[in-house]
Structure 1
Amino acid sequence: MEHPRSRLITLCTVQFVDVMGVTVVVSALPRMLADVGGSAAQAGLLVPVYAVGFSSVLLLAARLGDRLGNRRILVAGLVLFALGSVIAAVAPTMVMLVAGRGVQGLAAAVSVPNALVLLTRAAETIAARQRVLSAWNACGGLAGAAGLLVGGVTTSAVSWRAIFWGNLVVTAVLVVAVLRVVERDRADTQQQAAFAPQSITLQIVAVAAIVAAANASNSPWPVLTALGLTGVLAAFLLVRRERRTSSPLVPAGLWRPPFVGGLAGSFGMTATTSAFVVVGTFFLQETQGFSPAAAGLGILPFSIAVVVAAWSAGRLPSTVSLRTKLVCALLLIIAGAVVAGAGLSAVALFAGLVLAGLGNGMGAVAAYGLGTAVPDKHQGSAAGLLNTAAQIGTATMVAVTIAVAGHEAGLNYRLGWLTVAMTAVVVTAVVAVVTTRDRLDEQRALDEGRCQEITHGARIGRCRA
């Protein structure tokens, strides 16, 4: 069964639909609340509950794919997403609507890492891997803005419930497509490593608590304190257990410099650009007189730049290392934040959005390239960790940026974009430091004429050319 183009389109569509699910309800929130009897204070539940579900079980879902088969788990995730869509579509109350969104978030977590593994596993060369990752990240970059547009148009033209019925139709088509164009799971690709229930539980609690705390900035301080302490304690216990157990949740062999650099890059790409876009959206509405719909459209330069850069990044010469691409991408984001903060005008913001979008598109491809250049037996764990880092980046840094820039009169936009720039600076330093050792190993191998032995290098494309 060989349908490479159809497989690429199908698996990237899975990413598109699941990522779009984060923002697709934003424009519809007022109508939703009115129909199900929810209060304005409850509006903040509908986006975070999806994000908490999405981010907390990504690693578990990836390990399940390793153990039971990625295609099988992907189909199960799509079916679960359809179930969540039905629950939300028919919800008569706020509780049921929130439950449906939570199920959708969990389903997205099950689907995305397994779709990524199937996509990269089918790529037989480094060049092919770069191309499919370009398409994958282009779809992810476009999905966020598309959610704002699709949600608003559908709600205005039909009903917010049509959003979820539409999800049901799209999911059904995707299930059929996956079964048709994605090869069956092979026994030799399934890993029978033992599961560690305690590690899995601690990981889910840690991520869920941290993401929930980041999205509950308006909650009373005892709630925030409890969530924060729970997340930190669970993370501490998880690290302690992982260092002592013989069956760690994350294989020890995965923690090589390129993967750590990719993980930092995955976090940094979403952390910086998500915060950049949120601050920009507030800026357009509160100081430039844009309506919510117009502000949503004003973010399109960012999404278009992401698609262009992601698509182009996979076609750059293999002599340009992934490490170099990632560092350049972070520098573009820094430049975008500086331009937006210095200009404090709509024109300056649009220019900054283009720069940040180019950085996001190029950087996401590079980060995922570094993070997925691992043996097949570690692909599931790598995909789960990369996506978890990205989701945590979005959830935490948006909240931190708003908290730093916020004051009684509104937002200090210049301070918000400065926070974005400084975050990108820190991530750049981390990437440069953790991948330096690998660059030295590569150079040593080149000097000894054995470049082909490097399988995880930051310039893996050059070594295999």
Structure 2
Amino acid sequence: MESSRSRLVALCAIQFVDVMGVTVVVSALPRMLADVGGSAAQAGLLVPVYAVGFSSALLLAARLGDRLGSRRVLIAGLVFFAVGSVVAAAAPTMVMLVAGRGLQGLAAAVSVPNALVLLTRAAESEAARARVLSAWNACGGLAGAAGLLVGGLTTSAVSWRAIFWGNLVVTAALGVMVLRVVERDQPIADRPKAFAPQSIGLQVLVVAAIVAAANTYSQPWPVVTALALIGVIAAVLLVRRERRTSSPLVPSELWRRPFVAGLAGSFGITATTSSFVVVGTIFLQEARGFSPATAGLGILPFSIAVVVAAWSAGRLPVRVSLRGKLVGALLLIVAGAVVAGVWLSTAALFAGLVLAGLGNGLGAVAAYGLGTAVPAEQQGSAAGLLNTGAQIGTATMVAVTIALAGRATGLSYSVGWLTVAVTAILVTVGVSCVTRKRTRS
């Protein structure tokens, strides 16, 4: 029992640290730029480079876990994350700092899906799997807001470099815990076939181009258009290749209704709630005069609601299906966006944040529950795709939401939250259609 609890803590902590890495530098950006001689224009590189590395390599890393062993690949990811932390902590120039952040993002991609696979494989029953997924998603929900607080407090109290030196210490501790409490990889009887380098390259190019385009929406339109076009062309080539090859990157058997519903849910939950929180943060600062630090604290109701809902999701009655939980979660997000967008007050925003947080926590557990209910040899691919969907959802829809709200006249915040509500409704319809006939939990 103690070993099981320690395993849960170690693997969920990996999720927490890696997801927190996306936002932990935001509060420290001004001092980072001053110390390494970076310009204000270069500030936009430090967050996207991590996100691009994180999202583009998730599927590849998960498939490597299928072939080489998830524990072994997870340890490699922690080592690479430590190396990236050292490079960033000691960086004398902007180029080195960006390189360190990029390596951290790639390392996070290696670690997260394999930690999820190890977590779900160890669950001995559906109830146990629901509980570990609840803990997993609660940690992910807390990580984003924690990154803003940890980054700001560490920079103010010590130095921004202490963020990365701290990552090194934490990563070393997590590596020791994994070696002690996670069982060695067992021989794989039906080892997946090798996948072609062309498929790998195309998949990485697709995700990297899409995420990069979304994160550079404020750049001149030819840049964004070129990146988006590269992503579309690479996606077409990837689909054609996957249909024709005997060794696809994603096994064709994986594309069953429950998994597709889980993938859609993973995309939709993060796409809508990330956009909701970003618009809310801007609203608190621009419309209500909150300072950046106070606005960050104002998002805490969302994070608390995520943890409460995720922790409770695995304890709901068995008769409440995963499909029902996911649809209910998306409708909570719709309700939260409507409340915030119609009343446009601080109190309404806080109420909306709580509703959206409950939807996030409940929906993420349901989506991952649907998506990971696959045979053991497909666990890596499933985990990689679910995490990729979540990362793409955040990167693309935040950009779309801000772009639509910025172009509107009058109540632009209402337009932002309306975009969130419409997106959640569309995903709800999609999940309902996919699961209408066959998905049962």
Shift of 1:343: 1.2
Shift of 1:291: 0.3
How far apart in 1 are the matches of 2:384 and 2:301?
29
Partner of 2:422: 422
Letter in 1 for 2:152: G
Shift of 1:191: 2.2
Letter in 1 for 2:182: V
CA contact under 8 A between 2:192 and 2:377: conserved in structure 1? no
Letter in 2 for 1:48: P
Partner of 2:225: 225
Question: What are the Cα deviations for residues 378-410 of structure 1, in whole angstroms up to 9, with x where unaligned?
Answer: 000000000000000000000000011004989
How far apart in 1 are the matches of 2:201 and 2:190?
22
Residues matched between the structures, number: 441
Question: What are the Cα deviations for residues 30-88 of structure 1, in whole angstroms up to 9, with x where unaligned?
Answer: 11111111111111111000000000010000000000000000000000000000000
1:200–1:153 Cα change, 3 Å: same
Q: How does 1:229-308 map to 2 (within 5 A)?
A: 229-308=229-308
1:100–1:411 Cα change, 3 Å: farther
How far apart in 2 are the matches of 1:359 and 1:189?
39
Partner of 1:449: none
**Worse-matched range after superposition: 76-85 or 399-408:** 399-408
**Worse-matched range after superposition: 326-335 or 31-40:** 31-40
Q: How does 1:165-180 map to 2 (within 5 A)?
A: 165-180=165-180
How far apart in 2 are the matches of 1:189 and 1:407?
56
What SS is found at the alignment partner of 1:437? coil
Shift of 1:411: 7.5
1:48–1:411 Cα change, 3 Å: farther
CA contact under 8 A between 1:258 and 1:435: conserved in structure 2? yes
Question: What are the Cα deviations for residues 205-245 of structure 1, in whole angstroms up to 9, with x where unaligned?
Answer: 00000000000012122211110100000001111111111
What SS is found at the alignment partner of 2:194? coil
Deviating above 2 A after TM superposition, structure 1's stretches of 4 or more consecutive aligned residues are: 188-192, 407-411
How far apart in 1 are the matches of 2:365 and 2:109?
20
Q: How does 1:76-95 map to 2 (within 5 A)?
A: 76-95=76-95
Shift of 1:285: 0.3
How far apart in 2 are the matches of 1:160 and 1:189?
47
CA contact under 8 A between 1:84 and 1:104: conserved in structure 2? yes
Shift of 1:430: 0.5
Shift of 1:437: 2.1
CA contact under 8 A between 1:257 and 1:437: conserved in structure 2? no
Partner of 1:368: 368
Partner of 2:70: 70
Q: How does 1:63-462 map to 2 (within 5 A)?
A: 63-188=63-188, 191-407=191-407, 412-438=412-438, 457-459=439-441
How far apart in 2 are the matches of 1:191 and 1:283?
51
Shift of 1:95: 0.8
What SS is found at the alignment partner of 1:320? coil
Letter in 1 for 2:74: L
Letter in 2 for 1:223: V
CA contact under 8 A between 1:189 and 1:377: conserved in structure 2? no
How far apart in 2 are the matches of 1:278 and 1:458?
34
Letter in 1 for 2:125: T
The percent identity for this pair of structures is 80
CA contact under 8 A between 1:49 and 1:105: conserved in structure 2? yes
CA contact under 8 A between 1:261 and 1:371: conserved in structure 2? yes
**Worse-matched range after superposition: 411-420 or 262-271:** 411-420
Letter in 2 for 1:25: V
TM-score normalized by structure 1? Answer: 0.93
What SS is found at the alignment partner of 1:22? coil
CA contact under 8 A between 1:344 and 1:414: conserved in structure 2? yes
CA contact under 8 A between 1:259 and 1:371: conserved in structure 2? yes
Shift of 1:332: 0.1
Shift of 1:124: 1.2
How far apart in 2 are the matches of 1:81 and 1:73?
12
Question: What are the Cα deviations for residues 166-196 of structure 1, in whole angstroms up to 9, with x where unaligned?
Answer: 0000000000000000000010377241211
TM-score normalized by structure 2? Answer: 0.98
Structure 1 residue ranges without an equivalent (≥5): 439-456, 460-465
Letter in 2 for 1:263: L
1:187–1:415 Cα change, 3 Å: same
CA contact under 8 A between 1:257 and 1:434: conserved in structure 2? yes
CA contact under 8 A between 1:67 and 1:190: conserved in structure 2? no
CA contact under 8 A between 1:370 and 1:458: conserved in structure 2? no
1:24 and 2:24 correspond: yes
Letter in 2 for 1:312: S
How far apart in 1 are the matches of 2:268 and 2:61?
23
How far apart in 2 are the matches of 1:59 and 1:103?
16
